[in-house]
Structure 1
Amino acid sequence: MDVRIDELDRKILKALQSDASRSLDDIAKEVGSSKTPVWNRIRKLREAGVVGQHTVMLDAEALGFEACFFVLIRTSEHEAEWQAKFLKALMDHDEVQEAHRLAGDIDYILKVRVKNARAYDEFYQALISEVRVYNVTALLSMEEIKSTVALPL
């Protein structure tokens, strides 16, 4: 569905990205409009698929998930059956926060959040027992410098 986004829509989207839990009154005040038009625009943006589900951002380290690994995967298998098995393995492991299929020398990159190196090894052992991969390289993030889901509107 194609939707036109004007300046007020952009302001509303920016406000929602910064904190979607705020009241409709607060968002309307911030964007310089009244409540009803803002609600109608949010509804329109949801129906168009521009605005998705609302979730809460949790602090991984505060919950004991202190290790973040970026896992580079190369595979020599590209058949539909292997891909379905690999996709299922990724979906079945909550440790996998992101997964991307890449162009270039590396086939996939995963963002894996775990409590520690031992927990990563358990994840790794489980993954390679479920699906065959040619090469796996794990990179430990020493420091998260920037992390955002906000789009540059």
Structure 2
Amino acid sequence: MQDENRTPARLDDLDRKILRALQTDAGQSLEEIARQVGSSKTPVWNRIRKMREAGVIGASTVVLDPQALGLEACFFVLIRTSEHEADWQRRFLATLRARPEVQEAHRLAGDIDYILKVRVANARAYDVFYQALISEVRVFNVTALLSMEELKSETALPV
């Protein structure tokens, strides 16, 4: 989640080149990153360290293939609620955080209050998720939309 009070980091061209290289493959060596961005290892390492300290770079991870793991169904779940009290919101957030199927969750402006991206094996697994969700928190309306085909999915940000 984002910190609304954080000011954007000031990045120069070399910082942006380093970030693009890391987003392409965070597992590559420091030597390879330095070669790609046209610098030496020490300044690149120092810049990466400073960007980590500033919160520009978070945890390093790997991208897994959901199909290869048997998670073939991706649902976008639209939630409307008549509950807007702080206690309900805390329970809802705790419920979402406890469910590994929820890859993303957003609070929205407009007629829909929340949208979730839920990755599961199939429709039956989605129903298990749905039943667990509504047993934890009260919601007014839930609409699940099955993604038929993922046309684009990026983890890299435009820097």
Identify the TM-score tier after normalising by the shorter chain. Answer: over 0.9
Percent of residue pairs identical: 76
Give RMSD over aligned pairs: 0.9
Normalised to the residue count of structure 2, the TM-score between the two structures is: 0.94
Deviation at 1:69, TM superposition (A): 0.1
SS in 2 for 1:63: coil
Where do residues 23-42 of structure 1 align in structure 2 (5 Å cutoff)?
Answer: 23-42=29-48
What is the CA–CA distance in structure 1 between the aligned matches of 2:103 and 2:11, rounded to whole Å? 30
Q: What is the Cα deviation at residue 107 of structure 1?
A: 0.2
Q: Which runs of 5+ in 1 are unaligned?
A: none
Other-structure match for 1:88: 94
User: Which sections of structure 2, spanning at least 5 residues, go unmatched?
Assistant: 1-5
Task: Report how far residue 4 of structure 1 moved.
Answer: 2.0
1:19 aligns with 2:2: no
Q: Which consecutive aligned stretches of 4+ in structure 1 deviate over 6 angstroms post-superposition?
A: none
- Matched residue pairs, number? 153
Q: Residue 8 of structure 1 is aligned with which of 3, 6, 14?
A: 14
> Pick from 49, 55, 59: which aligns with 1:53?
59
Measured after TM superposition, the shift of residue 98 of structure 1 is 0.3
- 1:125 is aligned to 131
Partner Cα distance (2:155, 2:115) in 1? 18
* Paired residue secondary structure (2:138): coil
The C-alpha deviation readout for 1:27-70, integer Å capped at 9, x for no partner, is 00000000000000000100110000000111011000000000
Aligned to 2:79: 73
- Displacement after TM superposition at 1:149 (Å): 1.4
